[in-house]
């Protein structure tokens, strides 16, 4: 079998596995660190790429009528880069960077909770090394390294207008921003027979637990308006109990708080409180397998388990006990299965096709569902020894429904989305010396 063609196929296979994971429904998965660069020929290798993903999901049921028929999923970009250096014939290391998790949503009108915008991402920077031992007809590898993962989160919530004597007054949004950093490790093993492009690899990646810190900015008028409503409710309770003097005193205090709220709204005043967000991102185990199956042909596949069941909720607490939130997920574990074939048309051009199934992790608390992704990719070698890589992925996102939300009087507050789709475009470049 032609070694040059096999090497081209190996490169093209990386495009498939990179693009196939970009529109997953399981949890918040986005990109994966390009540790496969460790197996590339060459003493020094650099590889960089970017993937653009545009998903589309429409609400077909929502307790807020204005959201029915609208899409809430935002497009996003996944950058990825890797550099590999052979330190000796049998030992090499790779530095990688990728946006590995994320989620982004913008709602046409505020949700029942008031949420308008939600956006978070994690960026992983890692160093992974491999040591090679000759074993039989091929090589056995021990792999391992560490990573730093940076977490960023932004959310905007709309507030109801403040009622006043001359009509209601609109209030600015509540803004929450959090950042954090955690560390972890990956460890694995692989066996390869380069002559037939065979490689089997098992890799474990540890999870991360966050106590991301930041702040929430709340309009002062909203705080004073809430105080006025509380005082007014106490005044009504005192009046109902026949305590007229107390009711009058509380009513006057309520009016004063409302006047202060109107003044704060006119002045655009706000208050900032310390905030902390508590959540978990999963550990994972991935098995990859590839092999030449005929002259110029390569088959490849992968199966990945991620314990998304650790992500029960995103809990936000602030230095003001009255301000906080709880987003409940109660996810189950995720499974991702990929299979495909690649073909070297000649020594310079290769192509591939793959299919990925990603099991949705939702259990009725959110709108995560199964996704099926078809990927077409290719590789072209240039005259200076580099490789231009590209791919396009088409994802079918299954419909999903919530079942866990009901109001105080039993009214149905669950959401659902009909089947949607996503398109992913990938472009990258690889060069070696």
The kind and range of the H/E element at 95 are strand 91-106
Query: Nearest to residue 262, comparing CAs of 233, 226, 230, 225?
Result: 225
Structural domains of the chain, with CATH = 3-432 (2.40.160.60)
pLDDT band at 23 (very low <50, low <70, confident <90, very high): low
What is the maximum alpha-carbon separation in the chain? 96
Residues 425 and 428: their CA atoms lie apart, in Å, by 10
Name the H helices within 268-367: none
pLDDT at 417: 97
E strand intervals along 220-348: 270-281, 284-294, 297-306, 313-318, 324-328, 334-344
Tell me the per-residue pLDDT of 68-97, one tens digit each, with 9 for 90 and over: 999 999 999 999 999 999 999 999 999 999
Structure tokens at 47: 């590889």
Name the H helices within 282-349: none
Residues 168 and 162: their CA atoms lie apart, in Å, by 5
Residues 48 and 15: their CA atoms lie apart, in Å, by 11
Output the average pLDDT for the chain: 90
**Would you mind telling me the total number of residues written for the chain in this entry?**
433
pLDDT at 232: 86
pLDDT at 26: 67
Residues 309 and 128: their CA atoms lie apart, in Å, by 27
Instruction: Say how many CA atoms lie within 13 Å of 121 toward its Cβ.
Output: 15
Structure tokens at 401: 């429904």
Residue that has been written with the tokens 């070698």 in this structure = 381
Instruction: Give the whole-number percent of the chain exceeding pLDDT 70.
Output: 94
Tell me the per-residue pLDDT of 270-315, one tens digit each, with 9 for 90 and over: 999 999 999 999 999 999 999 999 998 999 999 999 999 999 999 9
pLDDT at 259: 87
pTM for this predicted structure? 0.91
Torsion of CA 64, 69, 72, 75, to 10 degrees: -170
């Amino acid at each position: 079998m032609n070694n040059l063609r096999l090497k081209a196929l190996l490169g093209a296979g990386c495009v498939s596995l990179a693009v196939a994971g970009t529109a997953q429904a399981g949890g918040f998965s986005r990109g994966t660190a390009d540790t496969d660069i460790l197996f590339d020929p060459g003493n020094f290798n650099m590889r960089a790429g970017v993937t653009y993903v545009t998903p589309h999901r429409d609400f077909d049921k929502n307790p807020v009528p204005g959201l029915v028929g609208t899409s809430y999923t935002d497009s996003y970009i996944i950058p990825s880069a890797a550099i590999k250096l052979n330190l000796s014939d049998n030992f090499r290391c790779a530095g990688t960077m990728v946006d590995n998790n994320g989620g982004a949503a913008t709602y046409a009108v505020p949700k029942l909770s008031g949420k308008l915008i939600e956006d978070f991402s994690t960026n992983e920077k890692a160093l992974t090394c491999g040591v090679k031992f000759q074993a039989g007809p091929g090589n056995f590898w021990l792999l391992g390294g560490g990573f730093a993962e940076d977490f960023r989160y932004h959310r905007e919530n709309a507030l109801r207008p403040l009622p006043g004597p001359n009509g209601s007054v609109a209030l600015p949004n509540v803004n929450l921003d959090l950042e954090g950093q955690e560390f972890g490790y990956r460890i694995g093993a692989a066996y390869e027979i380069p002559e037939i492009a065979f490689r089997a690899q098992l890799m474990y990646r540890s999870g991360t637990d966050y106590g991301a810190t930041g702040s929430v900015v709340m309009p002062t008028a909203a705080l004073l308006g809430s105080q006025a409503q509380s005082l007014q409710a106490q005044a009504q309770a005192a009046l109902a109990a026949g305590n007229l003097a107390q009711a009058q005193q509380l009513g006057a205090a309520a009016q004063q708080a409302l006047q202060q709220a109107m003044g704060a709204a006119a002045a655009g005043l706000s208050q900032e409180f310390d905030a902390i967000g508590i959540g978990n991102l999963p550990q994972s185990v991935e098995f990859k397998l590839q092999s030449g199956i005929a002259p110029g042909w390569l088959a490849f596949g992968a199966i990945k388990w991620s314990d998304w069941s650790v992500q029960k909720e995103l809990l936000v607490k602030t230095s003001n006990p009255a301000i906080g939130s709880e987003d409940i997920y109660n996810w189950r574990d995720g499974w991702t299965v990929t299979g495909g074939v690649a073909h070297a048309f000649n020594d310079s051009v290769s192509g591939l096709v793959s299919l990925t199934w990603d099991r949705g992790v939702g259990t009725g608390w959110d709108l995560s569902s199964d996704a099926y992704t078809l990927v077409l990719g290719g590789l072209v070698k240039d005259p200076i020894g580099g490789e231009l890589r590209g791919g396009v992925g088409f994802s079918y996102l299954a419909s999903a429904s919530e079942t866990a939300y009901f109001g105080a009087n039993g009214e149905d507050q669950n959401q659902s989305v009909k089947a949607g789709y996503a398109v992913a475009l990938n472009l990258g470049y690889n060069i070696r010396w």
